[in-house]
Structure 1
Amino acid sequence: MTLQRVYLVAGELSGDILGAGLMRELRARHPTVEFRGMGGPRMEAQGLESRFPLETLSVMGLVEVLKHLPELLRVRRTLREEALAWQPDIMIGIDAPDFNIGLEKQLREAGLKTAHYVSPSVWAWRQGRVKKIAKAVDLMLTLLPFEADFYHRHQVPVSFVGHPLADELPLENDRDGARQALGLAPDTPVLALLPGSRGNEIRFMGATFLDAVTLLCLRHPSLQVVIPAATAQRHAELSQLLAKYPALAQQITLLEGQAREAMVASDAVLLTSGTAALEAMLCHRGMLVAYKMAPATHWLAKRLVKTQWISLPNLIAQESVVPELIQHAATPEAIAEQIGQLFSDAEMRHALEARFAAMHANLQRSASERAAQAITALVAGEPLEATADGA
Structure 2
Amino acid sequence: MKIFISAGEPSGDLHAANLIHALRERVPDAEFTGYGGPKMTEAGAKLKYPLVNLAVMWFLSVFQNIVTFVRLIVLADRCFRDERPDAVVLVDYPGLNWWIARRAKARGIPVFYFVPPQLWAWAGWRVKKVREFVDLVLCSLPFEPAWYAERGVKHAVHVGHPYFDELQDRDLDETFTTAQEAHGRPLLAILPGSRTLELKRNLPILVRAAAKLAAKRPDVRFAVACLHEKHRVLAEEIVAETLQGCSGLPSPDLEIYAARTPELIRVADVAWSVSGSVSLELMMEALPTVILYKVRPIDLVIARPFIKAKYITLVNLLADAELMPEYLTSQDVSDELVRHAERWLSDPEAMARATSALAALRYTAARPGATSRAADRILAWLRDPAEAVAPYRGPHASSRPISLESADVDDAKA
Q: TM-score, normalised by structure 1?
A: 0.92
Indicate the RMSD between aligned Cα atoms, in angstroms. Answer: 2.6
Preserved CA contact (<8 Å) 1:290 1:330: no
Q: Cα distance 1:359–1:166, how it changes in 2: closer, same or farther (>3 A)?
A: farther
User: Is 1:134 equivalent to 2:131 in the alignment?
Assistant: yes
Distance 2:218 2:389 in 1: 57
User: Is 1:298 equivalent to 2:326 in the alignment?
Assistant: no
Preserved CA contact (<8 Å) 1:373 1:387: no
- Give me the identity figure in percent: 27
Preserved CA contact (<8 Å) 2:162 2:371: yes
Compute the displacement of 1:355 (Å): 2.5
The equivalent of 2:405 in structure 1 is none
User: Which deviates the most, 112-121 or 328-337?
Assistant: 328-337
Q: Cα distance 1:248–1:31, how it changes in 2: closer, same or farther (>3 A)?
A: farther
User: Is 1:204 equivalent to 2:204 in the alignment?
Assistant: no
Q: Mapping of 1:304-319 within 5 angstroms? A: 304-319=306-321
The equivalent of 1:94 in structure 2 is 91
Compute the displacement of 1:38 (Å): 1.4
Compute the displacement of 1:242 (Å): 2.6
Secondary structure of the structure 2 residue equivalent to 1:59: coil
Distance 2:30 2:178 in 1: 38
Compute the displacement of 1:115 (Å): 0.6
Q: Match for 1:364 among 362, 367, 373?
A: 367
Preserved CA contact (<8 Å) 1:10 1:38: yes
Q: Deviations over 1:257-294 (max 9, x none)?
A: 12111111111110111112222112221100111112
Distance 2:190 2:252 in 1: 15
Amino acid of the structure 1 residue aligned with 2:207 = L
Any gaps of 5 or more consecutive residues in structure 2? 400-414
Q: Cα distance 1:314–1:124, how it changes in 2: closer, same or farther (>3 A)?
A: same
Preserved CA contact (<8 Å) 1:267 1:285: yes
Compute the displacement of 1:328 (Å): 4.3
Q: TM-score, normalised by structure 2?
A: 0.87
Compute the displacement of 1:19 (Å): 0.7
Q: With a CA cutoff of 8 Å and minimum separation of 6, indicate the structure with the bigger relative contact order.
A: 1
**What is the number of equivalent residue pairs in this alignment?**
387
Q: Mapping of 1:1-391 within 5 angstroms? A: 4-156=1-153, 157-170=155-168, 180-244=177-241, 245=243, 251-328=253-330, 330-361=332-363, 362-383=365-386, 384-386=388-390, 388=392
Q: Deviations over 1:33-92 (max 9, x none)?
A: 111111122221110111222434411112221222222222222222223322111010
Compute the displacement of 1:170 (Å): 5.0
Distance 2:275 2:117 in 1: 15
Amino acid of the structure 2 residue aligned with 1:344 = S
Runs of 4+ in 1 over 4 A off after TM superposition: 176-179, 246-250, 387-391
Secondary structure of the structure 2 residue equivalent to 1:291: strand
The equivalent of 2:408 in structure 1 is none
Compute the displacement of 1:226 (Å): 1.5
Distance 2:384 2:73 in 1: 28
Preserved CA contact (<8 Å) 1:178 1:262: no
Preserved CA contact (<8 Å) 2:87 2:112: yes
Amino acid of the structure 2 residue aligned with 1:343 = L
Compute the displacement of 1:169 (Å): 2.8
Distance 1:284 1:83 in 2: 45
